[in-house]
Amino acid sequence: MRTIGVISDTHGLLRQEALDALAGSDLILHAGDVGDARILDMLGRIAPVHAVYGNTDWGDLRSHLPGTTVVDLGRPDGTPSGDAVPVGPLAYVTHDLDDLDLDPAAAGLSLVVTGHTHRAHAETRDGVLYLNPGSAGPIRGKLPVTVARLALGPESELEVEVVRLEV
Protein backbone atom coordinates (compact mmCIF):
# COMPACT_ATOMS: atom_id res chain seq x y z
CA MET A 1 0.00 0.00 0.00
CA ARG A 2 1.41 3.38 -1.05
CA THR A 3 0.32 6.71 0.40
CA ILE A 4 0.20 9.80 -1.76
CA GLY A 5 -0.12 13.14 0.00
CA VAL A 6 -2.02 15.85 -1.87
CA ILE A 7 -1.84 19.54 -1.03
CA SER A 8 -2.70 22.81 -2.74
CA ASP A 9 -3.02 26.54 -2.27
CA THR A 10 -0.41 26.96 0.43
CA HIS A 11 0.13 30.58 -0.64
CA GLY A 12 3.48 30.73 1.16
CA LEU A 13 2.23 29.11 4.40
CA LEU A 14 3.04 25.52 5.30
CA ARG A 15 1.71 24.69 8.73
CA GLN A 16 3.15 21.99 10.98
CA GLU A 17 -0.32 20.39 10.97
CA ALA A 18 -0.06 19.92 7.19
CA LEU A 19 3.40 18.40 7.51
CA ASP A 20 2.10 16.07 10.21
CA ALA A 21 -0.88 15.03 8.05
CA LEU A 22 1.41 14.27 5.10
CA ALA A 23 4.08 12.48 7.17
CA GLY A 24 4.58 8.92 5.96
CA SER A 25 3.60 9.75 2.38
CA ASP A 26 5.52 7.92 -0.34
CA LEU A 27 4.88 10.72 -2.82
CA ILE A 28 3.43 14.26 -2.58
CA LEU A 29 1.46 16.18 -5.21
CA HIS A 30 1.11 19.97 -4.90
CA ALA A 31 -1.60 21.47 -7.14
CA GLY A 32 -0.27 25.01 -7.27
CA ASP A 33 -0.38 28.41 -5.61
CA VAL A 34 2.72 27.29 -3.74
CA GLY A 35 3.76 30.83 -2.82
CA ASP A 36 7.31 30.04 -1.68
CA ALA A 37 9.82 27.51 -3.05
CA ARG A 38 10.86 26.62 0.51
CA ILE A 39 7.49 24.89 0.89
CA LEU A 40 8.48 22.39 -1.78
CA ASP A 41 11.82 21.85 -0.01
CA MET A 42 10.05 21.12 3.29
CA LEU A 43 7.62 18.72 1.61
CA GLY A 44 10.56 17.10 -0.16
CA ARG A 45 11.97 16.07 3.22
CA ILE A 46 8.93 13.80 3.56
CA ALA A 47 8.77 12.32 0.04
CA PRO A 48 9.42 13.14 -3.62
CA VAL A 49 7.25 16.11 -4.67
CA HIS A 50 5.57 16.84 -7.98
CA ALA A 51 4.19 20.38 -8.16
CA VAL A 52 2.63 22.71 -10.69
CA TYR A 53 2.37 26.47 -10.59
CA GLY A 54 -0.91 28.20 -9.82
CA ASN A 55 -2.36 31.53 -10.86
CA THR A 56 -0.64 33.38 -7.98
CA ASP A 57 2.80 31.81 -8.52
CA TRP A 58 5.16 34.17 -10.35
CA GLY A 59 8.89 34.69 -10.80
CA ASP A 60 11.09 31.72 -9.97
CA LEU A 61 8.17 29.45 -9.11
CA ARG A 62 6.50 29.97 -12.47
CA SER A 63 9.76 29.58 -14.35
CA HIS A 64 10.75 26.38 -12.50
CA LEU A 65 7.39 24.60 -12.22
CA PRO A 66 5.26 23.24 -15.05
CA GLY A 67 1.64 24.27 -15.55
CA THR A 68 0.66 20.59 -15.68
CA THR A 69 2.38 17.30 -14.97
CA VAL A 70 1.71 13.58 -15.25
CA VAL A 71 2.78 11.39 -12.34
CA ASP A 72 3.06 7.59 -12.25
CA LEU A 73 1.73 6.85 -8.77
CA GLY A 74 3.32 3.38 -8.79
CA ARG A 75 6.91 4.53 -9.30
CA PRO A 76 8.99 5.45 -6.23
CA ASP A 77 9.69 8.98 -7.48
CA GLY A 78 6.49 9.28 -9.53
CA THR A 79 8.32 10.10 -12.74
CA PRO A 80 6.76 8.36 -15.73
CA SER A 81 9.20 6.43 -17.87
CA GLY A 82 8.96 7.57 -21.49
CA ASP A 83 8.62 4.24 -23.28
CA ALA A 84 7.72 1.97 -20.40
CA VAL A 85 4.26 0.86 -19.42
CA PRO A 86 3.12 2.71 -16.29
CA VAL A 87 3.77 0.88 -13.03
CA GLY A 88 0.73 2.33 -11.34
CA PRO A 89 -2.18 4.58 -12.15
CA LEU A 90 -1.37 7.89 -13.81
CA ALA A 91 -2.28 11.21 -12.20
CA TYR A 92 -2.63 14.51 -14.04
CA VAL A 93 -1.94 17.58 -11.90
CA THR A 94 -3.07 21.09 -12.86
CA HIS A 95 -4.06 24.05 -10.73
CA ASP A 96 -7.46 24.97 -12.16
CA LEU A 97 -9.91 22.34 -13.40
CA ASP A 98 -11.21 24.89 -15.93
CA ASP A 99 -7.79 24.69 -17.60
CA LEU A 100 -8.00 20.92 -18.15
CA ASP A 101 -6.77 20.50 -21.70
CA LEU A 102 -7.45 16.82 -22.35
CA ASP A 103 -9.99 14.04 -21.84
CA PRO A 104 -8.57 12.20 -18.80
CA ALA A 105 -10.42 8.93 -19.49
CA ALA A 106 -9.33 8.86 -23.14
CA ALA A 107 -5.74 9.63 -22.05
CA GLY A 108 -5.71 6.63 -19.70
CA LEU A 109 -5.52 8.70 -16.54
CA SER A 110 -6.93 7.47 -13.24
CA LEU A 111 -6.68 10.70 -11.25
CA VAL A 112 -6.94 14.43 -11.90
CA VAL A 113 -5.64 16.65 -9.07
CA THR A 114 -6.55 20.33 -8.99
CA GLY A 115 -6.65 23.19 -6.52
CA HIS A 116 -7.69 26.82 -7.01
CA THR A 117 -11.17 26.77 -5.43
CA HIS A 118 -9.91 26.22 -1.85
CA ARG A 119 -12.74 23.69 -1.42
CA ALA A 120 -11.95 20.02 -0.86
CA HIS A 121 -13.85 17.80 -3.26
CA ALA A 122 -13.55 14.25 -4.58
CA GLU A 123 -15.72 12.68 -7.25
CA THR A 124 -15.39 9.90 -9.81
CA ARG A 125 -16.56 10.52 -13.38
CA ASP A 126 -16.05 8.14 -16.30
CA GLY A 127 -13.73 6.03 -14.16
CA VAL A 128 -11.48 9.00 -13.31
CA LEU A 129 -11.13 10.32 -9.76
CA TYR A 130 -11.16 14.13 -9.62
CA LEU A 131 -9.60 15.40 -6.41
CA ASN A 132 -9.21 18.88 -5.02
CA PRO A 133 -7.53 18.70 -1.59
CA GLY A 134 -8.78 22.16 -0.63
CA SER A 135 -6.49 24.84 0.73
CA ALA A 136 -3.70 24.24 3.22
CA GLY A 137 -2.65 27.90 3.33
CA PRO A 138 -4.12 31.00 4.92
CA ILE A 139 -7.68 30.71 6.20
CA ARG A 140 -10.23 32.04 3.70
CA GLY A 141 -13.55 32.99 5.25
CA LYS A 142 -15.21 29.96 6.80
CA LEU A 143 -13.50 27.36 4.59
CA PRO A 144 -11.64 24.65 6.49
CA VAL A 145 -7.91 24.15 6.05
CA THR A 146 -7.41 20.75 4.41
CA VAL A 147 -5.04 18.34 2.68
CA ALA A 148 -5.77 14.90 1.27
CA ARG A 149 -4.23 11.46 1.43
CA LEU A 150 -4.63 8.79 -1.22
CA ALA A 151 -4.12 5.12 -0.45
CA LEU A 152 -2.98 3.18 -3.51
CA GLY A 153 -3.93 -0.47 -3.14
CA PRO A 154 -2.38 -3.57 -4.70
CA GLU A 155 -4.86 -3.54 -7.61
CA SER A 156 -4.14 0.17 -8.30
CA GLU A 157 -7.36 1.24 -6.60
CA LEU A 158 -7.35 4.69 -5.03
CA GLU A 159 -8.99 5.56 -1.72
CA VAL A 160 -9.31 9.23 -0.75
CA GLU A 161 -9.24 10.78 2.70
CA VAL A 162 -9.65 14.53 3.08
CA VAL A 163 -7.93 15.62 6.28
CA ARG A 164 -9.24 18.72 8.02
CA LEU A 165 -6.40 20.44 9.85
CA GLU A 166 -7.13 21.78 13.31
CA VAL A 167 -5.69 25.29 13.12
For residues 74 and 53, what is the distance between their CA atoms, to the nearest angstrom?
A: 23
Report pLDDT digits (tens) over 57-76: 999 999 999 999 999 999 99
Q: Where do the DSSP E strands lie in 90-135? A: 90-94, 111-113, 120-125, 128-133
Q: Where do the DSSP E strands lie in 23-157? A: 27-30, 49-51, 68-72, 90-94, 111-113, 120-125, 128-133, 146-152
The model's pTM: 0.97
Structural domains in the chain plus CATH codes: 2-164 (3.60.21.10)
Report pLDDT digits (tens) over 130-167: 999 999 999 999 999 999 999 999 999 999 999 999 99
